[in-house]
């Protein structure tokens, strides 16, 4: 019996029943499906993509809060070559960690080393630009003749299709894991409360895979591996930033060293029904502060106003206001409706550039 199973596996074949009623099946009603194509796909994709994926090692300075001394901390991740002259796309949290705990404050990376596929040379990288909002960053090494990754179209990704994660998990360079696309447009909130719209895959993503590539059966990058869910009872839940959403970001990081975003210039407090009634206000966004010379100040928004709508859409949270704002460009004008001392007024805000 076991020899038969082994022989079947060696022949790279399996049998799929063509009817739900297995008791009535005969050998002639079974369809043989070859697995050799799957293996060939995996090998071809890995061979195509690995030269475009780099390992990244980062050193940070960690300052002791109590002892007034510092030590060196390190981390590892992955990156994707996006130009033959050395530009590399990765995650912001790899090269720009500003996290801290009860004992240390961690500064930005003071040394970023890059390791190319089949090359033991340690290349020093410069951080070109970082963007915390999208968790993306661009670094660069002084080398030409690199192999840029071929980028796919993440809007065409379908649930169930082949996926491969390529990266540097636990320092094991050029590792690949394969699986399928588990979901698209999955809303995931990180530990800092930021919500991302991501591609979900069951291809294994481990520490060090961040910044690496999620690719399709054509070897085209469809996402940037960014995080995984871990814990008791959780397995095979990895996430990637859709590649389409990264293009405008990394182009701006290369050109401006930052991402230019529209800006209103207020600090707001969300008012729910209970809080609004207690303070004799209306449900909406209470304007707690207005920045000097900001777009909000120029439009006439004042401290104590309650924002209740933007561009004709009723809103109650800063998140909703940000979504409307971020759907526009710098220089665009949006209409904001306010409740001021019980009266509603509408102001026009010309969006400025975020400082």
**Catalytic sites, residue numbers:** 93, 135, 210
Measured between alpha carbons, how far is 160 from 136 in angstroms, rounded to an integer?
A: 26
Closest Cα to residue 75, out of 50, 94, 52, 96? Answer: 94
Residues 6+ apart with CB under 8 A from 213: 49, 52, 53, 78, 80, 149, 165, 166, 167, 221, 223, 224, 225
Torsion of the alpha carbons at 185, 188, 194 and 195, rounded to the nearest 10: 30
How far is CA 235 from each of CA 22, 200, 229, 333, rounded to the nearest angstrom? 31, 12, 8, 46
For residue 151, count other CB atoms closer than 10 A to its CB.
Answer: 18
Torsion of the alpha carbons at 278, 279, 281 and 282, rounded to the nearest 10: -40
What b/e readout covers 94-104, taking b as 16+ CB neighbours within 10 angstroms?
A: bbbbeeeeeeb
How many residues does this entry show for the chain? 355
């Amino acid at each position: 019996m076991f020899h038969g199973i082994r022989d079947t596996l060696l022949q790279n074949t399996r049998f799929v029943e063509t009817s739900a009623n297995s008791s009535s099946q005969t050998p002639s009603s079974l369809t043989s499906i070859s697995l050799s194509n799957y293996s060939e796909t995996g090998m071809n994709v890995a061979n195509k993509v690995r030269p475009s994926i780099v390992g990244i090692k980062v050193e940070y300075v960690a300052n002791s809060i109590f002892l007034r001394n510092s030590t060196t901390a390190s981390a590892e991740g992955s990156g994707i070559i996006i130009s033959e002259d050395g530009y590399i796309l990765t995650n912001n949290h790899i090269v720009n960690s500003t996290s801290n705990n009860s004992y240390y404050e961690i500064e930005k990376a003071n040394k970023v080393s890059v390791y190319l596929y089949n090359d033991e040379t340690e290349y020093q990288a410069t951080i070109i630009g970082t963007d915390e909002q999208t968790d993306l960053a661009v670094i660069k090494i002084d080398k030409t003749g690199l192999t840029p990754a071929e980028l796919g179209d993440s809007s065409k990704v379908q649930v169930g299709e082949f996926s491969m994660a390529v990266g540097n998990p636990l320092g094991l360079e050029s590792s690949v894991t394969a699986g399928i696309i588990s979901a698209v447009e999955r809303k995931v909130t990180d530990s800092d409360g930021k919500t991302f719209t991501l591609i979900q895959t069951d291809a294994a993503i481990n520490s060090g895979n961040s910044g690496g590539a999620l690719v399709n059966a054509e070897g085209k990058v469809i996402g940037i591996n960014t995080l995984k869910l871990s814990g008791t009872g959780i397995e095979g839940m990895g996430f990637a930033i859709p590649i389409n959403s990264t293009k405008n970001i990394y182009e701006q990081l290369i050109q401006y060293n930052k991402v230019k975003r529209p800006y209103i210039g207020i600090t707001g407090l969300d008012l729910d029904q209970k809080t609004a009634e207690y303070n004799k206000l209306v449900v909406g966004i209470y304007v707690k502060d207005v920045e000097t010379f900001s777009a909000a100040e120029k439009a006439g928004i004042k401290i104590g106003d309650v924002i209740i709508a933007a561009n004709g859409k009723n809103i109650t949270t800063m998140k909703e206001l940000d979504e409307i704002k971020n759907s526009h460009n710098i220089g665009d004008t949006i209409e904001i409706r306010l409740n001021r001392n019980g009266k509603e007024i509408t102001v026009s805000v010309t969006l400025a550039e975020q400082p």
